[in-house]
C-alpha cells in the first residue's frame, strides 16, 4: 500500500494533491475527504483553530493506523495531510485520500482512519 503522511504548517494545496494522484488500472474507487474549520466552537464564534501536534508520536501512530488499514482492506493508496499551527475558519485542516478497488472498502477505510485518528493521534486544537 502506498502511503503518504504530511503534518505541516503550510496551507493544504488541494490542486497539487489532485495533480499528483496515482493509481493502477485495478482501482475503481478514489475518494477524498476535506475537514474544514467551522466558524463556531461550542456555540461561540471563533476566527481560527490552533493545532498542536506531538509530531514524532503522531507520525508513529499514523503509521500504526496505516498498517492496520492495510490488514483490513485492499487499499492501494492512502494519503493524509494534517495542518498544524493556525488554521482560519473555512480553511481545510485535514485532507485524506483513499484509493481501493471498490467504493465500499474505500469509504469504510477512510471513515475508520479518521475515527481512529481522533482517538489516538496526538494532535490537539484550541479555538482562537
Partner 1 sequence: MSVTVSFYSYFKDLTGCGSTTESLPEGSTLNDLYQKLSVRFPKLVAMQKSTLMAVGVEYRERGYALQDGDEISLFPPVQGG
**Site residues (CB under 8 A) for partner 1?**
35, 51-54, 56-58, 60-61, 82, 93-94, 114, 117-126
Cβ atoms of 64 and 40 closer than 8 Å = no
**Cα–Cα distance measured from residue 98 to residue 112, given in angstroms and rounded to the nearest whole number:** 11
Question: Rounded to the nearest whole angstrom, what is the least distance from the CB of residue 32 to partner 1 in the complex?
Answer: 14
- Cβ proximity to partner 1: between 65 and 75 the closer is 65
Cβ atoms of 94 and 82 closer than 8 Å = yes
- Cβ proximity to partner 1: between 23 and 33 the closer is 33
Cβ atoms of 37 and 111 closer than 8 Å = no
Question: Rounded to the nearest whole angstrom, what is the least distance from the CB of residue 113 to partner 1 in the complex?
Answer: 11
- Cβ proximity to partner 1: between 71 and 119 the closer is 119
Question: Rounded to the nearest whole angstrom, what is the least distance from the CB of residue 27 to partner 1 in the complex?
Answer: 25
- Cβ proximity to partner 1: between 73 and 95 the closer is 95
Q: Is 10 left (phi over 0), alpha (psi -120 to 50) or beta?
A: beta
Question: Rounded to the nearest whole angstrom, what is the least distance from the CB of residue 19 to partner 1 in the complex?
Answer: 25
Cβ atoms of 113 and 31 closer than 8 Å = no
Amino acid at each position: 500500500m502506498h502511503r503518504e503522511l504530511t503534518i505541516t504548517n503550510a496551507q493544504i494545496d488541494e490542486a497539487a494533491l489532485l495533480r499528483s494522484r496515482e493509481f493502477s488500472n485495478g482501482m475503481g474507487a478514489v475518494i477524498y475527504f476535506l475537514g474544514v474549520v467551522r466558524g463556531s466552537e461550542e456555540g461561540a464564534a471563533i476566527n481560527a483553530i490552533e493545532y498542536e501536534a506531538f509530531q514524532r508520536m503522531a507520525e508513529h501512530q499514523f503509521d500504526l493506523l496505516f498498517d492496520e488499514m492495510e490488514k483490513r482492506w485492499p487499499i492501494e493508496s492512502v494519503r493524509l495531510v494534517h495542518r498544524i499551527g493556525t488554521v482560519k475558519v473555512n480553511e481545510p485542516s485535514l485532507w485524506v485520500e483513499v484509493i481501493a478497488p471498490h467504493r465500499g472498502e474505500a469509504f469504510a477505510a477512510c471513515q475508520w482512519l479518521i475515527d481512529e485518528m481522533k482517538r489516538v493521534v496526538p494532535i490537539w486544537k484550541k479555538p482562537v
